[in-house]
Amino acid sequence: MAFEFDDACKALEGLIEGEVDPGWWESRSDIIQAEFYSGLVRIAVVGRFKAGKSTLVNAIIAEDLMPRDATPTTAVAVEVLAGPERQFIQLTNFNVVGEGDEQLLDEDEFRARARGESGDEELVLLRASLPHLQSKLPDRVAITDTPGVDSLEEMHSRIAYGYLTTCDAVVVAIDGEHGGLIEPEIRFARDHLNKKTREKLVFVVTKLDNKPEGDRVRVLEAVRSGLQIQAGIENPPVIAVCATDALEARLDGADPEPSDFRGFMELLDDRFIANTASLRADRGWRTLAATLAEAKSILLAKSDGLNLNNPELEERIRGLLDGRVKLERTRQSIEKKLDVEFSSLHAELDTEIGCVLSRVADKAPEYLRSLEGTGEDHDRVSNLIRKDLTHEIEGFSQEWLKPRVEDLLVSLSEDYRELQTALPEIPGIKTDLPGGGVLIDIVVEGGLIVLLNVLLPGEWLVALLGRVIGSKSLDKLLEPIKKILNNVLQGMLRHVMRTVLENRIRETVNSLKPELVESVYGNVESLVRTLSTQVLAQIDEQSLELTRATQKARDVKKEGVKKVDAEKRRLASAIDKIERIEMSHKTRLAGSIA
């Protein structure tokens, strides 16, 4: 059995190596080994308040040590064991092995604290070492007196129940004066004793000293029946003991011990005292089982702590995906805005350029007056019209067209920059808007001047005027009329011809409108489209970068999931092996006395 125990301990140590704090295993390993090989075997005497527990303990140890008067009651757990010298100890901060901070007491202090006069009973364990027990009890076996499980003092009952969970064998004192089990005793046996194996239980019916033999038999049978039927304990060992008579006889040393007490001591020795090695081994196995369960809990907690979800990574992926949505929305917004703006711009250009040309056309009388006395000097008129058109278009460019285009580009810039502030930071993504104010100045102003030079060359305007007034000067055109008409008629005819020429000049200048509108619109559209194409290209580039970054983040997540899954499988394998250790030693873990 020892070999199997050591083998199980080594197997557990190998499974948890590197998984838990080394100090955790070292401390528990020492306790497990101590429990199995040299642990204190605890035989607890438990029962209801005033059931005769202390008197029974005194009878077992053959000394009137435990408080048993009408008023004093046992308030703490008191262990009594054999030792080379008479010694009384108070333990605090003690562990499951029964080791702790020790304080020597004299006998009076010991008795007082056993009655609960220390004020901190729940934190205290009393231990008495008695030399005369060396011939009666094996080494490291303790007979323990406990407070009543139904004590009116809640702390006293807590101490009793707490000790019950750590003891190795249980002697249950039942007050025989009730004629059988009463409800609190049934409830206590059902809830707290049926998990103990039958081999670790002895029920002692006390206070039957003055009852006739027939009544004693009936009480014993009633107790046995109650334990089996109502508490669910199969074949409970029940014995009657006159503890007071036994104590007096053992203290006196002259009278023979009562037969019922001798039978009880034989049962106690047969079941517990003679089997301390098995009880100790069983305790070691139970401690190992608790350690296995604790180790399994640690590994399960560690496995549960391996979170498949990385919140930061998940947030990063959500941000990247959100950035791609924002990019697409911004692209759509820019394209939609351009369509709306260009449609509006074309109509506005038609109106504004019409006004520019109208102002030039309205100067037709001035252009005609400039021809008087100049012969066929069409260049003079051409230069005048060119000068006025240049002036008007420059004003139009500065006062209307440039601000209009700048507003459009600023609007696009705001969309783009707002997008940039909302995007996650990704290395390699550009954040500068293409173009800028200088480019606008160059393209708008310079472009229009170049356009004007293309539309209104000197030769073109000369040809235009030639189509208006013909190849002859105004004077030559009117010579035949001078010979026929008088000055009045000549003046009237000149006025008519001048009016005709003015209208022709107006119509011709205004006829420039469609071509000029389309040319200016095309120039502006080309500028804005060029810049917007660069913006949209950067958006596409950013979208591609976001797609790559998203995929990279997903790859990191996938790799992390693989590692977590592998770690979980490894921990699950260790947990499975721990469970197999538990299963392979199930009988021992449940109890090895049988």
Place of tokens 């949209």: 536
Q: What is the mean pLDDT of the chain?
A: 75
Average pLDDT of span 338-360: 85
pLDDT of 144 higher than 80? yes
The pair of three-digit structure tokens given for residue 222, joined into one six-digit string: 């009633």
| pLDDT top residue among 478 and 110 | 110
Share of the chain above pLDDT 70, in %: 74
Closest Cα to residue 127, out of 148, 99, 167, 153?
A: 99
Q: What is the pLDDT of residue 453?
A: 44
Q: What is the pLDDT of residue 102?
A: 86
Lowest average pLDDT, out of 358-372, 459-473, 511-525, goes to 459-473
| pLDDT top residue among 497 and 398 | 398
Lowest average pLDDT, out of 371-385, 461-475, 489-503, goes to 461-475
Q: Where does 38-271 sit in CATH, by number?
A: 3.40.50.300
pLDDT of 432 higher than 50? no
β partners of residue 42: 142
Lowest average pLDDT, out of 44-48, 124-128, 435-439, goes to 435-439
Q: What is the pLDDT of residue 143?
A: 92
The pLDDT tens digits of the residues spanning 292-339 come to: 778 888 777 777 776 656 677 777 777 778 877 877 887 788 788 888
Q: How confident is the model at residue 418 (pLDDT cuts 50, 70, 90)?
A: low
The pair of three-digit structure tokens given for residue 355, joined into one six-digit string: 């006004």
pLDDT of 478 higher than 60? no
The pLDDT tens digits of the residues spanning 388-411 come to: 877 887 777 778 877 787 777 777
Q: List all residues 6 or more positions away from 130 whose beta carbon is below 8 Å from its beta carbon.
A: 61, 63, 80, 81, 82, 83, 86
Going from N- to C-terminal start, the domains of the chain cover 38-271, 312-550
pLDDT of 129 higher than 90? yes
Q: How confident is the model at residue 171 (pLDDT cuts 50, 70, 90)?
A: very high
Q: What is the pLDDT of residue 421?
A: 62
pLDDT of 480 higher than 70? no
pLDDT of 468 higher than 50? no
Average pLDDT of span 512-539: 76
pLDDT of 14 higher than 70? yes
- The answer to whether 490 and 482 are in contact (CB under 8 A) is yes
Q: Compute how many other C-beta atoms are within 10 angstroms of the C-beta atom of residue 213.
A: 9
The pLDDT tens digits of the residues spanning 49-65 come to: 888 889 999 989 999 99
The pair of three-digit structure tokens given for residue 496, joined into one six-digit string: 């008519």
Q: What is the pLDDT of residue 446?
A: 43
> Regarding beta strands 201-206 and 238-240, do their DSSP bridges make them parallel or antiparallel, or are they unpaired?
parallel
Half-sphere exposure (CA, 13 Å, Cβ side) for 84?
0
Alpha-carbon dihedral sign for residues 249, 253, 258, 264? positive
Q: Give CA angle at 27 (26, 29), nearest 5°.
A: 65
The pLDDT tens digits of the residues spanning 541-567 come to: 777 877 887 888 778 778 877 877 887
Q: Can you list the alpha helix ranges (DSSP code H) found in 306-398?
A: 311-361, 364-369, 378-396
Cα(231)–Cα(238) distance, rounded to whole angstroms?
14
Cα(274)–Cα(269) distance, rounded to whole angstroms?
5
The pLDDT tens digits of the residues spanning 73-127 come to: 788 889 999 999 999 998 887 665 566 788 899 998 898 888 877 655 556 789 9
The pLDDT tens digits of the residues spanning 229-281 come to: 888 888 889 998 888 888 888 888 756 667 788 888 888 888 888 887 778 77
